[in-house]
Amino acid sequence: MLSTALVLFVAAAPAKSQALLDKGKAAFQINCVACHGEKGAGDGPGAAALNPKPRNYAKDPFKQGDKLEDIFATLTKGVPGTPMVAFAHLAEEDRWALAYWVLELKGAGNDKPAVLDAGTKTPPKKK
Ligand code: HEC
């Protein structure tokens, strides 16, 4: 199964759904919060030691592009020369789910409400 996922790099994104967002959120907790922080603010427990540091998704422009496909590509290839490793070992569907979740976190910092973000207990903080 893993080998099939690896060659399907250009596969089309699945449609956004609550189930996919839930999956993305869960996968983010497991794989990403250590560096990116729960809300993607770049303040995970491991972030202080990183160079370069992860972006605050909600506030900072994305260096690798902020379209769904760009984020999927970042996850698949990583960002060479930074602590952001590739997550190509995750199932393709999980990478799309994560890409949707990253966009959700990005949107949560703007004034746009995160419409599908039913699983989050605390409302997005404004500074
Ligand atoms: C070991 C720490 C670490 C982990 C774990 C990690 N990241 Fe990253 N990530 C980084 C760093 C550092 C950068 C910034 C790289 C740079 O400066 O371009 C980054 C960059 C990114 C970017 C690109 C942001 C931009 O500016 O374009 C995305 C998207 C991203 N990470 C998503 C994730 C997701 C989703 C996960 C979990 C599957 C994850 N990362 C796990 C450290 C990490």
Instruction: List the one residue out of 104, 81, 82 whose CA is nearest residue 28.
Output: 104
Residues in the chain: 127
Which atom of ligand 1 lies nearest, measured to the CA of 51? 12
pLDDT above 70 as % of the chain: 76
Query: Rounded to an integer, what distance in angstroms lies between the CA atom of residue 20 and that of residue 98?
Result: 8
Write the residue with the smallest CA distance to atom 31 of ligand 1. 84
Residue-level pLDDT at 108: 81
Top pLDDT among 77 and 116 is at 77
Question: Would you place residue 109 in the very low, low, confident or very high pLDDT band (cuts 50, 70, 90)?
Answer: low
Which atom of ligand 1 lies nearest, measured to the CA of 90? 38
Ligand 1 close to Cβ of residue 62 (< 6 A): yes
Instruction: List the one residue out of 69, 70, 81 whose CA is nearest residue 14.
Output: 69
The helix/strand/coil state of 105 is helix
pLDDT above 90 as % of the chain: 74
Instruction: List the one residue out of 52, 44, 39 whose CA is nearest residue 109.
Output: 39
Please say if the pLDDT value at position 123 is more than 80.
Answer: no
- Look at domain 2-6+15-108 and name its CATH class: mainly alpha
Q: Domain residues of the chain, as ranges?
A: 2-6+15-108
Question: Would you place residue 78 in the very low, low, confident or very high pLDDT band (cuts 50, 70, 90)?
Answer: very high
Ligand 1 close to Cβ of residue 56 (< 6 A): no
CA of 64 to the centre of ligand 1 (A): 10
